[in-house]
Amino acid sequence: MITKIKPQEARVDFSFKREVFFIIAGGVIGALVMAIPFTFFSPEGISRAYDLTWVIFGHIVGVHSPISSAIIAGMTIHIVVGISIGIVSGVFLYKTNLLNISKPSNGLRYGLFVGILVYLIFSIPVSRFVLNPEFRHDLIGSNNKINNSNNDNNDNNDNSYNNNTNNNSNNIILSNFQITSILYPISINLLFGITLGLFSSFLSIKFGARYRCPSCDISFSRIDVLQTHLLFVHSTNDDQNQQQITNMKRIVILGGGFGGVTVLKKLQNHFQTDVDIDITMVSKDNYLLFTPMLHEIASGMIETRHIVTPIREFCNRSRFYCAAVKNIDLEKKKILIRSSTSYESTIAEIMGRSGGHLSTTTTTATNLLESKTQSYLYYDYLVIALGSQTKFFGMSDIQENAFTIKTLNDAINLRNHIIYLLEQSDQLLFPTVGNNNISNIYGHKDNNTDTLGELQRKLLTFVIVGGGFAGVETAGEINDFIRDSVKEYYHNIDSKNIRVIIVHSGDRLLPEMSKELAEFALERLHKSEIEIILNQRVMGATSNTVSLKDGTIIFTKTIIWSGGVAPPSLLNNILCERDHKSGRIIVDNYLELPNYKGVFALGDCAYIMDPNSSKPYPPTAQHAIREGTIVANNIIVSIEERLEDRKIFAYKTKGMMASIGKRTGIGNLLGIEVQGLLAWLIWRSYYLVHLPTLQKRIRVLADWILDMFFKRDVTTLKAFVEEEEEIKEDNNADHHKHNYNT
């Protein structure tokens, strides 16, 4: 029996400031909507009467001329008062829990309440004690001026006649105003209030409070949907008029990259109010990494956190597991996941060890924790978007000695390594640095044949393997970073000793681009003092060298590998059809596995044929995003049994762009080739717009602007593990020193 969860026990993720802002925004929109009838649909008399109201308000606050200023001042007062009443009433309703505008019907009730309240306040106390006396004062003053003018130009009889006429006219004006001030203001203020309520409700549902089920850990944007979820999903058998959902559809998304997150957001938006749809996201990292800007992390151009967005920020209607996928069983429709954090050392530390082995108590605790960190997920619909991993073509020595530029940790480690080499190279010319220290830095036993300049040259040689987008962009960015840093900070380094080398197996760089753009990129890279080696393959590597196919050996401490990608090794164990060359999962035109209905694959791990070119689509972010849209649509129509509305994936690449160094880029946009500064500006603008949140866009833009005016940042970012190792080394050194002294 399932324990019933009462609605009042649900957790609410609530921001009071944000909700108040929604009411203010609703009030502003309501004021604009309220002005429409005045401007376009009001009869002349009513419009003039209400204009007179704004003028009187303006006179009350001391604005008398020109007339337009008085009207604006009066309207401003009305809007401010209306919004203030909306905020006060909204706060009261929130605090007393009488009304929650995340439910649209409640938003309508709230708007009607505010509209009536605004009218009552303006029509009774304000009109009676503030407006009416001011009306009479202005009208009497106007009459006196008219009478004085008439006395100067007419005789007494005419004066008497004009007085009677003016008095009758004034009575008509007051009478008309009193009539129109009853009906028309009511409708106008109700229009203001309804707009305020509905628009505030819309903002609250879209961006406001989230109502989380404490059992499922799923949040809903509307309180009534949560109540329905609690009613049907968590009801007990002895509850009358309640039933548990028996046709729950479970959707599991594997992978938190561009494709997976796109599917997640589309499904959440569509099934936000459908409580019989369960959505789960699984990702080994708890963030979405914006990989096109990863090379700028390595150079310090962008702050590390600015290109990562927590996946939980997207999981408003879904459950999230930060875990690694260990196995996918397509036959039994289940997935084995395991927490990406190992608890063995923690268990041993807490529970203690007995004679070098875990005690019975500790073993029990280990089994308990393993049952919590390792579990199965069952699905009805599965989305495989696990991305790719670096491919080393079986060369274990390169895998051991090369840096990669695939993950956030890769970029941070590469940056720290480059800065470390700059620091050590700068110190080579210091007289206090002895031969032993130099040997330790580079690993040489005999320093007699090498000069300090040659050592510095070897330390500052950086080899990038691969001349595709990733290799060229990385080479251009770190070349700028190294040379700018040397110019600003490392004055003992000779810039002639800096070597940045691209080794590419093809006959030209950037084979995805046209020959003209590739030649332009080659020319600009040469001008930036980057060496290009074409038609050569890297055959092996050590900690100090890299060897090429023709026998050339390059002395270097830095090898950056961008030679290719492959699907995760996990997919090799799945019994499905895969491409023999790339190892990617083969899918049909609907991005569905042919022999497993309800299982979809997309992104880098999927082999998707382009119907126009009969070639597989490239594994790029723009393709993954469009693939995610198609997968989400096909899941939706499948659940809703509208298979005739399924869509095939047929996408024509919008273009390709690459940054090749400081303020220089190349690109092909819809068949139009651009290069130089314009291409670089388009590259930055495009990726800035496609960052997942407004906050990240602002932060990245700020980083770019600051980089134009300030020096490079050469601080290293040590990992927690590195700091622990340093502490252990210091402790060991102290221990040896103590033994020596003893």
| CA gap 149, 147 in Å, rounded | 5
CA 306 to chain centre: 9
- Please choose, from the candidates 488, 497, 464, the residue with its C-alpha nearest in 3D space to the C-alpha of residue 660: 464
- Please choose, from the candidates 630, 625, 631, the residue with its C-alpha nearest in 3D space to the C-alpha of residue 692: 625
Highest mean pLDDT among 197-206, 239-248, 269-278: 269-278
Whether cis (ω within 30° of 0) applies to the bond prior to 66 is yes
Stated pTM of the model? 0.73
Q: Which helix (H) or strand (E) holds 253?
A: strand 249-254
Report residue 670: phi and psi, to 5°: 55, 40
Tokens representing 712 are: 């490079």
Residue listed under structure tokens 């990617």: 584
**Residue 134's pLDDT band (boundaries 50, 70, 90)?**
low
Task: Provide, rounded to the nearest whole percent, the portion of the chain with pLDDT above 90.
Answer: 42
Q: What is the identity of the amino acid at 22?
A: F
Tokens representing 504 are: 């590419």
Q: Centre a 10 Å sphere on the Cβ of residue 252 and count the other Cβ atoms it contains.
A: 27
User: What number of residues does the chain have?
Assistant: 742
| CA gap 431, 340 in Å, rounded | 48
Residue 675 CB partners (closer than 8 Å, separation 6+): 517, 520, 665, 666, 667
Whether the per-residue pLDDT at 512 is higher than 50: the answer is yes
pLDDT at 661: 87
Instruction: Judge whether 64 and 56 are in contact, CB under 8 Å.
Output: no
**Residue 154's pLDDT band (boundaries 50, 70, 90)?**
very low
| CA gap 700, 696 in Å, rounded | 6
Q: What is the identity of the amino acid at 268?
A: Q
Whether the per-residue pLDDT at 517 is higher than 60: the answer is yes
Whether the per-residue pLDDT at 196 is higher than 50: the answer is yes
pLDDT at 344: 47
* DSSP result, 189-227: HHHHHHHHHHHHHHHHHHHS-EEEETTTTEEESSHHHHH
Tokens representing 512 are: 């995805």
pLDDT at 3: 42
Tokens representing 118 are: 């605004």
Q: What is the identity of the amino acid at 458?
A: K
Q: At what angle do helices 132-153 and 156-207 cross, to 10 degrees?
A: 150
pLDDT at 136: 62
Tokens representing 561 are: 């590998």
Whether the per-residue pLDDT at 504 is higher than 80: the answer is yes
| CA gap 50, 637 in Å, rounded | 53
**Residue 603's pLDDT band (boundaries 50, 70, 90)?**
very high
Whether the per-residue pLDDT at 250 is higher than 70: the answer is yes
Residue 457 CB partners (closer than 8 Å, separation 6+): 497, 499
Instruction: Flag the least confident range among 136-145, 210-219, 320-329.
Output: 136-145
Highest mean pLDDT among 162-171, 173-182, 259-268, 451-460: 259-268
Q: What is the pLDDT of residues 611-641, one digit of tens each?
A: 888 889 988 889 999 999 999 999 999 999 9
Give just the sign of the alpha carbon dihedral 51, 57, 60, 66. Answer: negative
Instruction: Flag the least confident range among 209-213, 302-306, 435-439, 467-471.
Output: 435-439
Residue 567 CB partners (closer than 8 Å, separation 6+): 386, 388, 389, 578, 582, 583, 584, 585, 604, 605
pLDDT at 203: 79
> 3-class SS at 381?
strand
Whether the per-residue pLDDT at 316 is higher than 90: the answer is no
> 3-class SS at 369?
helix
Instruction: Flag the least confident range among 179-193, 276-290, 302-316.
Output: 179-193
**Residue 67's pLDDT band (boundaries 50, 70, 90)?**
low
**Residue 358's pLDDT band (boundaries 50, 70, 90)?**
very low
Segments in 240-395 forming alpha helices (H): 258-270, 294-298, 344-351, 360-373
DSSP state of 304: G
The overall average pLDDT reported for the chain is: 79
Query: Which string of b and e fits 348-378 if b means at least 16 CB within 10 Å?
Result: eeebeeeeeebeeebeebbeeeeeeeeeebe
> 3-class SS at 254?
strand
β-strands 374-378, 357-358: how paired?
A: unpaired
Q: What angle do CA 579, 583, 589 make, to 5 degrees?
A: 45
Q: Centre a 10 Å sphere on the Cβ of residue 141 and count the other Cβ atoms it contains.
A: 9
| CA gap 494, 515 in Å, rounded | 35
